[in-house]
């Protein structure tokens, strides 16, 4: 009985909350209509002000109502209804002094932001979806949620009347209010999921924008990697090979005049050739480790663990192979997380779990460091997230202050 009473009380409060969130727009319409009636039919423009108030008020209240409904649904049921709102791009000052906001030029940054905000809101399909939902939900979930409080008011009114019949009706209404309370608010979830989520066209447009950003990130990363390779070749192996050529040319000239010195130069040239070869191998290994190509992700991660200064344990479901680009992205992701654990977290031990599911590969890196890891806009974690996003992969990071830090890499793919 106590459990039922608690459910009824909780349901009644939720029904009141849903009614309070979903019914302001019909209340606004009723107030506008009453204003038109009070203004009087004799005035031929008496309809204009109520229509303007109802229209502008509905537009202004639509998005707050939808946000409140999403919050309540997620809080009570755990169902997340994506908003799908279009985000505005950056505002850039041009060499002419004008500000470009993606739509046009303005004289000041403030004007550019205001114009951009208005244009983005007006052209966003989510604005009109919110408007449609805000007009629809009062007559579906709003009416259902209004039933318990309305019946409760009737019950109080009837029980306070002296007539026996009125009291009987009040008692019956009280029972009906208690019985309906646990269920009256629940209609808001299916209605929100059906009408408030982003449409297929909105999801497609969002995906196109995401892929465009990913393509830009990949292009920038490729250019940076090419510059790194060129710099390493120029400063390392190329300089060593140039010195090797000079040493051999000098030795050739001294071969007859000073054979001992020529032999010393050739010994130095041989050592320089070995050093240049080692630099080239390190450079190639930085592009893609040979062990990763030859034996796959699991063995490459084990080799990475052996070379780490930390106490690293690797657990796995067994050796398996993936597409080479996916293996490379996951491998360098694990390398980035190990570097962070050693360099920033002050960890002593790390546990790496490499596994696969029906949908793809899952790698978990758990360290006992100080925690508090945060993803900066230009940091290694942000770069790792962009690298994984190319393959629709994700990075989930949990790092409370004091540790431990748990990072989970998930990439959808098929096993070879």
pLDDT tens digits in sequence order for the chain, 416 residues long: 447 677 888 888 888 899 899 998 998 888 888 877 776 666 666 677 778 888 888 888 999 999 999 999 988 988 888 887 877 777 888 777 888 887 888 888 888 889 888 888 888 888 888 899 999 999 988 888 888 888 888 888 888 888 888 778 878 878 887 888 888 888 888 888 888 877 666 667 666 666 666 565 555 556 566 666 666 566 556 666 666 677 777 777 777 777 777 777 777 777 777 766 766 666 665 566 677 777 888 888 888 888 777 888 888 877 778 888 888 888 888 888 888 888 877 788 889 998 887 778 888 999 888 888 777 666 677 777 877 877 778 888 888 888 788 888 888 887 77
* Integer Cα distance of 329 and 174 in angstroms: 63
* Residue 100 buriedness (CB in 10 A; 0-12 / 13-18 / 19+): middle
Burial of 204 (0-12, 13-18, 19+ CB in 10 A): exposed
Among 3.40.50.2300, 3.40.190.10, 3.30.565.10, 3.90.650.10, what is the CATH number of 295-412? 3.30.565.10
Residue 329 CA from chain centroid, whole number: 19
Q: Classify domain 201-287 at the CATH topology level.
A: 1.20.5
Secondary structure of residue 410 in the 3-state scheme:
strand
- Residue 407's SS3 state is strand
Cβ(138)–Cβ(191) below 8 Å: no
The answer for residues whose C-beta is within 8 angstroms of residue 303's C-beta and 6 or more apart is 289, 291
Helix 24-39 and helix 2-22: axis angle, to 10°? 50
Q: Would the CA dihedral through 280, 282, 283, 288 be positive or negative?
A: positive
For residues 375 and 207, give the distance between their C-alpha atoms in angstroms, rounded to a whole number.
23
Query: Strands 105-106 and 99-100: what pairing?
Result: antiparallel
What is the C-alpha separation between 161 and 159, in angstroms, rounded? 5
Euclidean distance between the first and the last CA atom of the chain, given in angstroms as a whole number: 58
Q: Could you state, in order of their start, the residue ranges of all structural domains in the chain?
A: 2-86+124-195, 201-287, 295-412
Contact 284, 317 (CB under 8 A): no
Structure token pair of residue 129: 């979806």
- Say if residues 363 and 412 touch (Cβ distance below 8 Å): no
Q: pTM for the full model?
A: 0.53
């Amino acid at each position: 009985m106590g459990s039922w009473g608690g459910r009824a009380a909780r349901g009644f409060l939720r029904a009141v909350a849903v009614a309070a969130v979903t019914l302001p727009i019909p209340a606004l319409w009723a107030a506008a209509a009453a204003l038109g009636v009070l203004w009087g039919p004799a005035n031929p423009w008496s309809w204009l002000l109520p229509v303007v108030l109802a229209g502008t008020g509905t537009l202004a209240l639509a998005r707050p109502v939808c946000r409140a409904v999403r919050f309540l649904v997620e809080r009570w049921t755990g169902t997340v209804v994506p908003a799908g709102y279009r985000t505005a791009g950056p505002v850039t000052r041009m060499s002419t002094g004008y500000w470009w906001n993606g739509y046009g030029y303005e004289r000041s940054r403030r004007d550019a932001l205001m114009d951009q905000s208005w244009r983005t809101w007006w052209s966003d399909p989510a604005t009109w979806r919110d408007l449609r939902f805000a007009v629809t939900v009062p007559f579906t979930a709003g009416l259902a949620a209004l039933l318990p409080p309305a019946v409760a008011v009737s019950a109080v009114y009837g029980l306070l009347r002296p007539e026996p019949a009125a009291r009987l009706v009040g008692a019956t209404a009280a029972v009906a209010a208690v019985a309906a309370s646990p269920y009256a608010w629940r209609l808001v979830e299916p209605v929100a999921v059906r009408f408030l989520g982003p449409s297929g066209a909105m999801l497609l447009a969002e995906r196109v924008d995401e892929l465009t950003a990913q393509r830009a990130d990949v292009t920038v990363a490729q250019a940076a990697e090419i510059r790194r390779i060129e710099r390493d070749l120029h400063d390392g192996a190329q300089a060593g090979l140039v010195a090797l050529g000079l040493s051999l040319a000098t030795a050739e000239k001294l071969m007859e005049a000073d054979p001992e010195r020529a032999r010393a130069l050739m010994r130095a040239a041989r050592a320089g050739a070995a050093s240049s070869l080692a630099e080239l191998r390190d450079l190639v290994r930085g592009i893609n480790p040979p062990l990763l190509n030859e034996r796959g992700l699991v063995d490459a991660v084990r080799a990475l663990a052996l070379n780490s200064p930390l106490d690293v344990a690797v657990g796995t479901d067994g050796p398996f192979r993936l597409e080479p680009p996916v293996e490379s992205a996951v491998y360098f992701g694990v390398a980035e997380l190990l570097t962070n654990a050693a360099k920033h977290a002050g960890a002593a031990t790390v546990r790496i779990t490499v596994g696969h599911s029906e949908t793809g590969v899952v790698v978990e890196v758990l360290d006992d460091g100080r925690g508090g890891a945060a993803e900066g806009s230009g940091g290694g974690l942000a770069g790792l997230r962009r690298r994984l996003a190319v393959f629709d992969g994700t990075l989930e990071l949990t790092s409370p202050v004091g540790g431990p830090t748990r990072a989970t890499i998930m990439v959808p793919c098929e096993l070879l």
